[in-house]
Amino acid sequence: MLIGVPAEVKSGEHRVALTPDAVRELVEAGHEVRIEAGAGTGSSFPDTDYENAGATLCDASDAWAAALVIKVKEPQPSEHDYLRPDLLLFTYLHLAATRECTEALVDSGCTAIAYETVESHDGGLPLLAPMSLIAGRLATQVGAWALQKANGGRGVLLGGIAGVPLADVVVIGAGAAGSQAVDVAVGMGAHVTALDVSTRPLRGLVTRYGNRVRTITATAGALEAAVRAADLVIGAVLVRGARAPRLVSNDLVARMRRGSVLVDIAVDQGGCFEDTRPTTHDDPLYSVHRSRFYAVANMPAAVPRTSTFALVDATLPYIKAIAANGWREACRADQGLAQGVNVTAGAITCAPVARAHGLRHVPLELDAT
């Protein structure tokens, strides 16, 4: 199969969809790989590394002309003209948060498989998990940075020092991202509260940290009380394929401490704070009432080399299966991969995406030609 890897054009996006080692494995398996010149530079992979691995360097249009296009982020408006009926696109899509991209994919007739809705045999999200882990760890780091007075924050140190109160960190959602945010916050010495609607992940935190982390079932009243008292709030809520629920209202933010910080990891799925709007690495912060919001929509791009290795480790087995057998046969063999098909032949096959935009859902039919 002819595989194309365009350079990412989203603001601040420095990840790349394939490492040179991954290219070598695909070429040795008999596939042809075209990679846009400079695509790996942001992750410290020079073009020569890809050439030595057997890839052909090309421009964006040639990369997009491949039968299978591998990316990191959803097609940006400047890339929509590359979409076409015979294209198979494999990337993060987060379509519930963007009607424009959803309509572009539907109108093009292409087949688009979203990393974030591919499932493992146990119901996990194996292609989303590595980026969730990285985003979770980054969330506490950037939150600590945003709390500095120069950035508009309260001017508090997460761990304080002897005789000085610790900062209060509240993590909403104790899944993959949230647990990592907790891990870093505990390591930095903060007073940490974790909330989740399920007690299972909370029990995991208790097993790991004991009384170093306060765990609370996320009722409306408990969430409000915790957020109002927080210095730093990290939103790490995920509903597979769907738009994130809005859990922190504008009114609640108005009652928070002056200079408090809210970091929304769920921004890719629309955000779990009412006032979330996507920002960029170049301009990550904005103010709501007396608080500061950080809502960068591609947080792991801040550490692109780490993120690229982690992403490709997860995606490569699926890429090999698709390239060797075609997407339909690969999905027949792996129903978890089939869950990743969001759009094909002008139809939305992911129910949460259809519901998010009030559009028609068409169940995936793998026996169709």
- Which residues are known catalytic residues? 94, 268
* 154 contact partners, CB below 8 Å, separation of at least 6: 147, 231, 257, 258, 259, 260, 261
**Lookup: tokens for 143:** 């939150």
SS3 label, residue 170 = strand
Beta pairing partners, 254: none
277 DSSP 8-state letter:
-
Backbone angles phi, psi at 136, to 5 degrees: -65, -45
* 352 contact partners, CB below 8 Å, separation of at least 6: 96, 239, 240, 241, 242, 243
Please report the sign of the dihedral spanned by the C-alpha atoms of residue 174, residue 177, residue 181, residue 182: positive
SS3 label, residue 125 = coil
Cβ proximity of 27 and 1 under 8 Å:
no
Please report, for residues 77, 78, 148, 222, 348, the alpha-carbon distance to residue 88 in angstroms, rounded to integers and kept in the order given: 18, 18, 45, 45, 15
Residue 18, CB-side half-sphere exposure with 13 Å CA sphere: 34
Q: How long is the chain? A: 369
